[in-house]
Amino acid sequence: MTSERIEERLADVRARVARAAARADRDPAGVDLLPVTKGHPASAITAVAAAGLPRIGENRVPEAAEKQAELAGGCGLDWHMIGRLQRNKARKAIGLFDVIESVDSVKLARRLSRITEEEGHEPIEVLVQVNASGEAEKAGLAPAKLAVALDEICRLGGLRVAGLMTMAPFTADEGMLRKTFRTVREASVRCSDEVEGFEGGVLSMGMSNDFEVAIEEGSTRVRLGTVLLGER
Ligand SMILES: *Cc1c(COP(=O)(O)O)cnc(C)c1O
């Protein structure tokens, strides 16, 4: 995909973001786009950078490593890890990514904290992943367990907890999507009251099939693969 083609798609996506924000009386500037380049060649990343977008998302450590080797760096973009991170790949991930959006357990947070401090690396920005739908195969903390987990995670050194991330069920049922996103937004508000050191902030929610509902429900970052970059 060329940067011209991305710019065309981007114009369409931005219009859809603006309409969704307007429906919720929100400023569309409060919604960041995270182009998800997983499954696309490294050239998609240069095209994203050429289109003027500041960040990309990848979901696998080896794929990100291969692409950074091929591109001889990160193209000046912020790299966001959005996929499940095995604890034995945490060190590698810290070297490759600027933000880890998929912190799905206190154990993983502890490990990231320890490695960051051990290596004298600057604090890494993280989001805590919430499993709001209760699906067994989805990663993330249950909303009921979030406050206790965040209380520990926010005390760890080497991490900057910037907010929450979630994946909704894969469904066209708008009511169910809405309920999932709302649950996460409400959990964020509640935890920013209850948990010292947690200020909420980023709500990374919404993908190609559900980003408009996510924006209506308060998303501040939509992670978009297919609508921006085409089918994988
Ligand atoms: C792949 C992926 C996306 C983007 O998916 P699309 O449906 O192509 O927009 C967003 N978030 C996560 C966690 C993903 O793995």
Residue-range domains of the chain with CATH? 3-225 (3.20.20.10)
Q: How far is CA 37 from CA 24, 58, 98, 208, in A?
A: 28, 6, 15, 13
Pairing of strands 99-103, 124-130: parallel
Q: Which of 82, 103, 180, 215 to mutate to test the pocket of ligand 1 (most atoms within 8 A of CB)?
A: 82
| Residue 38 alpha carbon, nearest atom of ligand 1 | 1
For residue 66, give every residue at least 6 positions away whose Cβ sits within 8 Å of its Cβ, in sequence order, or none. Answer: 42
Q: Measuring CA to CA, which residue among 15, 23, 12, 13 is closest to residue 216?
A: 23
Structure tokens at 172: 């066209």
Q: Measuring CA to CA, which residue among 46, 27, 34 is closest to residue 10?
A: 34
Give the global pTM.
0.97
pLDDT of residue 1: 75
pLDDT of residue 120: 94
pLDDT of residue 213: 98
CA of 227 to the centre of ligand 1 (A): 10
pLDDT in tens, the chain (232 residues): 777 889 999 999 999 999 999 999 999 999 999 999 999 999 999 999 999 999 999 999 999 999 999 999 999 999 999 999 999 999 999 999 999 999 999 999 999 999 999 999 999 999 999 999 999 899 999 999 999 999 999 999 999 999 999 999 999 999 999 999 999 999 999 999 999 999 999 999 999 999 999 999 999 999 999 999 999 9
pLDDT of residue 2: 78
pLDDT of residue 181: 98
| Residue 167 alpha carbon, nearest atom of ligand 1 | 13
